[in-house]
Amino acid sequence: MTKFVVLICNYFGQPYWYVPFRFRFDEMDRMQKNTIQAIKQLKNSPIHYMSLGSRELFHSNFLGWLLETYSSALCVFGLENIKPNVFREEKNMDLVIKDAEGAPLLLVENKVKSLAERKQLEDYAKKIPKATKRILLTLIEPSFDLDELEPKWCLLKYENLAVELEKWFKRTTIDSSHSVYISDYIEMIKNLSIVAETYFEPPKIRKAAYWFSNQNDDLNSIRFQQTYRKYQAQIFTDDFTGILAETGFKVTNLNDKELRGKRFSGRIVNVSWTLRNNTPCVTIVPCIDKWPSSIWYGIQIQGPQYRRLAVADAYKGIVRANPRDERAISKLWGAINGSLGRKWLFADNFQRENKTKFFNVPVASGGTLRRITTMRNNLCQYSPDAVYQYINVTKDGVGESLGLKDLGMQIVHDINFGFRLLENKQLTPR
């Protein structure tokens, strides 16, 4: 028996997670062979490619059609002897099953492209509170315990759905024109479940250092690389939300729409994620009492970049200035100075030594550390109102880059400085 341990450190560099993997080498070999075979079958599956246009919609639509056409298939969701009325996207729910009188019997929330979120399930349960049963259908178990939710949700993984569908299929008389599609669907979700177990489970993503290590090209071959990126971003967000909460910060995970006009009590750190240019992008923003409307300072980790980002109304109409246009750049720096954004950025200019560009970055232990950057100009911008500078992040901190084990410490330091900036207290060092 061989034991593999994945270690993620907290912001002091001390162990935060120990994720043990205990596999025999023959079991690892079996899993690898199964995954290779699953990917090969998905590459040759027409129904898999049909599903790629909108993965969750495809699965919900297929299952909705199946339940309408063969009501006995409701047994896979634990319901028997019912003639269902199937509704799609009612109150944003993927599937709602009602009886002949219109009473809601079953809610199904379907997750293929990302992990389920606690708040989403709580909100959906409130929209249809009288449902008899609620099921989360997912490739990967959520990061929280479904038993903690009230009203309750039941877990159904796609691998178990495949098992139950296969049992139902074998004992049911199926129209010959439907049979091939249903059997192909069952095989597809079996294979997707194998791929998900190999790549998408949170311990596997942590072991692979999120997106800071080499990526697997096999997922590109079945066009699942973007889904993989989403899982990486979401698990990174969940993990660092946990680190920040343990450090003593009050943390929220709200999106832009939810944050607009939001009021808080005291200091809050909001951690959110998205994909930008098909790359994981996690944004961490300190705020006090309310979400700032005209300017905010944040940390943004996108791909291999650790950014200090400033977003302000004052930058609109100036951002995207040509770096060679000295007058435009001077005007932008004037706006940055007026908003205290200059204090938030690492420095006015990066430094050079031979061909290496770097910033001297303040750290929690005091003093500074040299961190390399691959910025071409002293200031990066994106429309309509954001400016930033970045240092490079790598898995192991090679070549004076910021390493993953030091990432939490740097985030905590910068959040504390962000709060000082918002409170307009002593603002040095950066």
Average pLDDT, the chain: 87
In this prediction, residue 8 carries a pLDDT of: 46
Helical axes 25-43 vs 176-199, angle rounded to 10°? 140
Q: For the chain, which domains are there?
A: 45-199 (3.40.1350), 228-423 (no CATH)
Residues 6+ apart with CB under 8 A from 360: 347, 351, 368, 369, 370, 371
CB 60 within 8 A of CB 137: no
What global pTM score does this model have?
0.86
pLDDT per residue as tens digits for the range 225-274: 999 999 999 999 999 999 999 999 999 998 878 887 788 888 999 999 99
Cis peptide before 429 (omega within 30 of 0): yes
| Farthest CA pair distance, the chain | 77
Closest CA to 192 of 167, 228, 153: 228
Rounded CA separation 101/87 (Å)? 14
The answer to whether the Cα torsion of 70, 74, 80, 81 is positive or negative is negative
pLDDT per residue as tens digits for the range 346-379: 999 999 999 899 999 998 888 899 999 999 999 9
Give the C-alpha distances (Å, rounded to integers) separating 1 from 34, 35, 106, 161: 20, 21, 44, 31
DSSP string, 223-270: T-HHHHHHHHHHHHHHHHHHHHHHHT--EE---HHHHTT-EEEEEEEE
